[in-house]
A and B are shown apart, each in its own frame.
Chain A
Amino acid sequence: KAGVTQTPRYLIKTRGQQVTLSCSPISGHRSVSWYQQTPGQGLQFLFEYFSETQRNKGNFPGRFSGRQFSNSRSEMNVSTLELGDSALYLCASSLGEPGQFNQPQHFGDGTRLSIL
């Protein structure tokens, strides 16, 4: 069974640009969550999508957005990139509905975004 696939694995952008990251969940999983990991702040929850709707959102500015398609694949977009956006962006999918923590999340290996 294929795991969560994130593309690309590495990305280099410059300040002011925008970027789109992609996540393909495990087949049958409808819940997709995004996280940002940085050395200083650790792992922070960005948002969660379920059935093409954003169900939960963390404390990130509006420059961070996402969407989910009918096949549960999800994209995350960051506009007007800042140096502080350099991070590992992780996607996770779950068989359960949002908040069903007895259904574990399965993470991809992440996209390493570097802002120059």
Chain B
Amino acid sequence: DQQVKQNSPSLSVQEGRISILNCDYTNSMFDYFLWYKKYPAEGPTFLISISSIKDKNEDGRFTVFLNKSAKHLSLHIVPSQPGDSAVYFCAASERMGSGGSNYKLTFGKGTLLTVNP
């Protein structure tokens, strides 16, 4: 059962336009969401995160929106640049037990973003 889904394996966008990467989840116990970017032959790079108590978080060109009722989050990149071309992973965290440091992290399978010059 895939609890975090990135239904679009790939996305192609023109340079300067907005890129919107989507992620759906099924587990209502997820309390933190993260986005990572990964270039070929490199490890993932953390981009931005959002707590479940918020609905928006912004960092430069990157904005993450969270819609808890729809169990949906999206990453907006504006404006898109060719250097943004990479695989983007959505991840979600669920607290396990009553302690603050026990959690389970679940990743989506990623979306390949291609930004065309």
A contacts, CB < 8 Å to B: 4, 33, 35, 41-45, 50, 55-56, 58, 90-92, 97-99, 101-102, 104-110
Can you name the residue of chain B whose Cβ is closest to the Cβ of A31? B101
Cα(A102)–Cα(B107), bound, Å: 17
Cα(A55)–Cα(B97), bound, Å: 12
Q: How many residues of B contact A (CB 8 A)?
A: 26
B101→A55 contact, CB < 8 A:
yes
Name the residue among A4, A58, A97, A107 with the largest chain B CB count within 10 angstroms. A107
B101→A43 contact, CB < 8 A:
no
Given the known inter-chain contacts A55-B101, A101-B32, please indicate yes or no for A45 contacting B46, CB distance below 8 A. no
Chain B proximity of A96: nearest CB distance (Å): 10
Can you name the residue of chain B whose Cβ is closest to the Cβ of A110? B43
1/0 contact string of B17-58 vs chain A (CB within 8 Å): 000000000000000101000000111111001010000000
Given the known inter-chain contacts A43-B107, A44-B107, please indicate yes or no for A99 contacting B93, CB distance below 8 A. yes
B103→A98 contact, CB < 8 A:
yes
B-side contacts of A110, CB under 8 Å:
43
1/0 contact string of B51-80 vs chain A (CB within 8 Å): 100000000000000000000000000000
Q: List 19 A-B contacts (CB under 8 A).
A: A42-B89, A42-B107, A43-B91, A45-B107, A55-B101, A56-B102, A56-B103, A56-B104, A58-B105, A97-B101, A98-B103, A99-B101, A101-B32, A101-B34, A101-B93, A104-B49, A107-B42, A107-B44, A109-B41
Partner pick for B106 among A45, A99, A101, A104, CB 8 A cutoff: A45
Can you name the residue of chain B whose Cβ is closest to the Cβ of A104? B46
Given the known inter-chain contacts A99-B95, A101-B49, A102-B49, please indicate yes or no for A55 contacting B102, CB distance below 8 A. yes
Cα(A52)–Cα(B22), bound, Å: 37
Chain B proximity of A73: nearest CB distance (Å): 17
Cα(A62)–Cα(B89), bound, Å: 27
Given the known inter-chain contacts A42-B109, A101-B34, please indicate yes or no for A50 contacting B44, CB distance below 8 A. no
Given the known inter-chain contacts A4-B43, A43-B110, A45-B107, please indicate yes or no for A99 contacting B100, CB distance below 8 A. yes
